[in-house]
């Protein structure tokens, strides 16, 4: 029995045993268009000098494998107040240069709210951070430049939150990358569409991939509560002429983040007169003049500029009037 | 006299050149024929079946079988018949077989399991399939008219 006969007999069993190895998850593999040539040679003798012969050369080209990987690069849900930028990586896991069609979809099942996609951007300077005016913008559904095998780009998705979201609501945005040559089920062939005219074959990813980035609504809201305490000249609480009314304006910021330029104003009620020098903020006196402190007061009303107020804090403004 | 010696030397040279040339031109006793097929699984009414196909649309990870057929078409017994196949760089040996392999570019051969590779730090590690550079089959004799084939399985890197 020769080796050859043994090998032939073993062929069937060997094939079955190794089927599972058919889909190796090689990163990119041998480049598309590579020519594979195999030539065997033999030496022998027939009693004389050693003879050497070559077989014919069998050759074929490696086809282009279409595969892609998309991965969100945000470590956790991004807080969004009005706009933000989601970050994804798109990697050509095929073996030939390929552009990819990039589409962000804001309508993902389970969303509390759906954002608006303002556009996409490619991280042109490769710093991983969206730089407005530097990174090249791409319309949603646009096509990237050609990526070499194993090349990865960072894709930014620019989004705007809708109005009316409440703090803590969540949303997801899905970025889809599809091989420009085409997508399909693994094994589908685009004849002659590969690099250098070889066939392009849809890989295990279906030549597309997607991933979601997460958002959490970050909304701060302010509530203002006004209360009054009256002290009459007789030790009572009746709103009679000469009684002093102490107004308290309590501003509470809830939610996440902060409120900017929070200005509290109130008019002096008719038939009352502002009691000069009674304006306070968080029990600290403020001058009536428009000066360096936060407040000012006059016969017509009071105004206190709280500036930026973080969520979770409360500020109280008080002033007094005398009932005419 | 000098001329005659020169002529004589030339004749010797011509004769020496002519001998191996004549030898090479004689019909080879053995012929080799190479072939390659890609091994695919097809779904036939829910049953996976393995088929050998022509190597089109071959992608990284695909499995191939390279076959070399030999025929002793002479009337003589062929001895020390050794078939050597350098692996194309783009493929990796998929499994060991009834052959010797080389992991050093064809300088030395041995059974795969017995070979090792020397690392940069001088230490040895057992050879891996990816290290194999050549495959060699040895048949002691081929009888007149004998034919057969040898093959190896490879995966596109």
The pLDDT tens digits of the residues spanning A43-65 come to 999 988 999 999 999 999 999 99
Alpha-carbon separation of residue A236 from A70, A139, A231, A274, A275 (angstroms)? 73, 70, 6, 20, 19
Closest CA to A92 of A240, A203, A212: A203
pLDDT cut 70: percent of chain A above it:
92
Mean pLDDT across B145-152: 96
Give the pLDDT of residue B26: 52
Closest CA to A42 of A30, A29, A34, A51: A51
Tokens 């609504």 belong to A217
Closest CA to B89 of B34, B154, B150: B154
| Contact status, residue B93 vs residue B132, Cβ threshold 8 Å | yes
Answer whether residue B10 is part of any domain: no
In degrees to the nearest 10, what's the CA dihedral of A238, A239, A240, A243? 90
- Say how far apart CA A251 and CA A264 lie, in whole Å: 8
A235 touches chain B (CB under 8 A): no
> pLDDT by residue (tens digit) across A68-82?
999 999 999 999 999
Nearest CA-CA distance, residue B57 and chain A, Å: 5
- Say how far apart CA A202 and CA B58 lie, in whole Å: 11
- Say how far apart CA A183 and CA A174 lie, in whole Å: 18
Mean pLDDT across B19-39: 73
Report the mean per-residue pLDDT for chain B: 86
Give the pLDDT of residue B28: 85
Domain that holds residue B34: 27-156
| Contact status, residue A288 vs residue A297, Cβ threshold 8 Å | yes
Give the pLDDT of residue B4: 53
Cβ pair B156:A29 closer than 8 A = yes
Give the pLDDT of residue A27: 62
Answer whether residue B20 is part of any domain: no
pLDDT at A6 over 50: no
pLDDT cut 90: percent of chain B above it:
70
pLDDT at A92 over 90: yes
CATH of the domain at B120: 2.60.40
Secondary structure in 3-state letters for chain A: CCHHHHHHHHHHHHHHHCHHHHCCCCCCCCCCCCEEEECCEEEEECCCCCEEEECCCEEEEECEEECEEEEECCCCCEEECCEEEEEEEEEECCCCCECEEEEEECCCCCCCCCCEEEEEEECCCCCCCCCCCCCEEECCCCECCCECCCCEEEEEEEEECCCCCCCCCEEEEEEEEEECCCCCCCCCEECCCCHHHCCEEECCCCCEEEEEEEEEECCEEEEEEEEEEEECCCCCCCCCCCCEEEEEEEEEEEECCEEEEEEEEEECCCCEEECCCCCEECCEECCCCCCCCCEEECCCEEEEEEEEEECCCEEEEEEEEEEC
Mean pLDDT across A103-132: 96
More confident residue, B98 or B16: B98
Say which of B30, B85, B88 has its CB closest to residue A44.
Answer: B30
* Pairing outcome for strands A68-72 and A83-92: antiparallel
Give the pLDDT of residue B19: 42
pLDDT at B21 over 80: no
Report the mean per-residue pLDDT for chain A: 90
Answer whether residue B11 is part of any domain: no
Mean pLDDT across A122-149: 95
* Pairing outcome for strands A51-54 and A272-274: unpaired
| Contact status, residue A57 vs residue A39, Cβ threshold 8 Å | yes
Answer whether residue B39 is part of any domain: yes
Mean pLDDT across A11-31: 48
Which of B57, B96, B101, B153 has the most A C-beta neighbours within 10 Å, making it the best mutation to test the interface with A?
B57
- Say how far apart CA B8 and CA A295 lie, in whole Å: 125
Mean pLDDT across A245-262: 91
> pLDDT by residue (tens digit) across B74-112?
999 999 999 999 999 999 999 999 999 999 999 999 999
Number of structural domains (chain B) is: 1
Give the pLDDT of residue B43: 82
How many Å separate Cα A289 from the centre of its chain? 48
Domains within chain A, CATH numbers bracketed: 65-217 (2.60.40.10), 220-323 (2.60.40.740)
Cβ pair A44:B81 closer than 8 A = yes
Nearest CA-CA distance, residue B28 and chain A, Å: 8
pLDDT cut 90: percent of chain A above it:
83
> What tokens were used for A133?
């005016």
Answer whether residue B18 is part of any domain: no
Which has the minimum average pLDDT: A139-148, A240-249, B15-24, B67-76? Answer: B15-24
- Which residues from chain B sit within 8 angstroms of residue A56, using beta carbons? 32-34
Element (DSSP H or E) covering residue B54 = none
* Alpha helices for B37-96 (secondary structure H): none
Which has the minimum average pLDDT: A23-32, A233-242, B51-60, B143-152? Answer: A23-32
Answer whether residue B7 is part of any domain: no
Cβ pair B95:A39 closer than 8 A = no
Answer whether residue B67 is part of any domain: yes
pLDDT band at A16 (very low <50, low <70, confident <90, very high): very low
> pLDDT by residue (tens digit) across A136-177?
999 999 999 999 999 999 999 999 999 989 999 999 999 999
Which has the minimum average pLDDT: A19-23, A112-116, A126-130, A265-269? Answer: A19-23
How many Å separate Cα A320 from the centre of its chain? 50
Say which of B60, B84, B153 has its CB closest to residue A41.
Answer: B84
pLDDT at A1 over 50: no
Sign for the pseudo-dihedral over CA of A131, A135, A141, A145 = negative
Residue B153 φ then ψ, to 5°: -100, 140
pLDDT at A122 over 90: yes
- Say how far apart CA B111 and CA B128 lie, in whole Å: 12
> pLDDT by residue (tens digit) across A177-224?
999 999 999 999 999 999 889 999 999 999 999 999 999 998 888 999
Answer whether residue B80 is part of any domain: yes
Give the pLDDT of residue A221: 87
Give the pLDDT of residue B41: 87
- Say how far apart CA A251 and CA B117 lie, in whole Å: 76
How many Å separate Cα A24 from the centre of its chain? 31
């Amino acid at each position: 029995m020769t080796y050859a006969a043994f090998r032939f007999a073993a062929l069937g069993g060997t094939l079955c045993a190794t089927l599972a190895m058919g889909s190796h998850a090689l990163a990119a593999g041998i480049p598309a268009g590579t020519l594979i040539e195999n030539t065997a040679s033999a030496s022998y003798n027939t009693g004389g000098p050693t003879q050497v012969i070559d077989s014919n050369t069998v050759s074929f080209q490696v086809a282009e494998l279409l595969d892609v990987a998309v991965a969100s690069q945000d470590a956790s849900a991004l807080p969004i107040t009005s706009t933000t930028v989601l970050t994804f990586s798109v990697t050509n896991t095929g073996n030939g240069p390929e552009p990819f069609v990039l589409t962000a979809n804001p309508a993902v099942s389970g969303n509390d709210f759906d954002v608006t996609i303002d556009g996409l951007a490619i991280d042109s300077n490769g710093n991983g951070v969206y730089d407005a005016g530097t990174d090249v913008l791409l319309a949603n559904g646009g096509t990237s430049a050609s990526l070499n095998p194993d090349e990865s780009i960072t894709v930014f998705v620019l989004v705007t939150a809708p109005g009316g979201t409440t703090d803590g609501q969540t949303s997801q945005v899905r970025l889809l990358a599809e091989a420009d040559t085409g997508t399909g089920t693994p094994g589908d062939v685009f004849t002659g569409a590969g690099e250098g005219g070889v066939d392009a074959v849809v890989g295990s990813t279906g030549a597309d991939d997607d991933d979601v980035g997460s958002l959490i609504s970050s909304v701060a809201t302010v509530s203002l509560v006004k209360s009054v305490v009256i002290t009459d000249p007789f030790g009572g609480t009746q709103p009679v002429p000469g009684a002093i009314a102490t107004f308290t304006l309590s501003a509470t910021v809830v939610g996440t983040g902060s409120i900017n330029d929070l200005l509290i104003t109130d008019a002096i009620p008719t038939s009352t007169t502002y009691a000069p020098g009674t304006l306070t903020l968080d029990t600290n006196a403020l001058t009536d003049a428009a000066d360096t402190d936060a407040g000012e007061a006059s016969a017509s009303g009071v105004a206190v500029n709280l500036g930026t107020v973080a969520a979770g804090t409360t500020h109280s403004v008080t002033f007094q009037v005398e009932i005419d | 006299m000098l001329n005659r010696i020169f002529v004589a030397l030339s004749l010797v040279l011509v004769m020496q050149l002519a001998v191996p040339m004549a030898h090479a031109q004689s019909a080879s006793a053995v012929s080799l024929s190479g072939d390659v097929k890609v091994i695919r699984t097809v779904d036939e009414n829910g049953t996976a079946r393995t088929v050998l196909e022509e190597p089109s649309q071959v992608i990284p990870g695909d499995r191939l079988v390279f076959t070399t057929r030999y025929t002793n078409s002479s009337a003589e017994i062929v001895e020390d018949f050794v078939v050597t196949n350098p692996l194309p760089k783009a493929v990796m040996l998929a499994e060991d077989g009834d052959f010797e392999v080389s992991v050093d570019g064809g300088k030395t051969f041995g059974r795969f399991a017995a070979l090792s590779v020397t690392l940069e730090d001088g230490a040895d590690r057992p050879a891996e399939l990816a290290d194999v550079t050549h495959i060699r089959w040895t048949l002691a004799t081929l009888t007149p008219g004998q034919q057969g084939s040898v093959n190896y399985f490879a995966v596109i890197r």
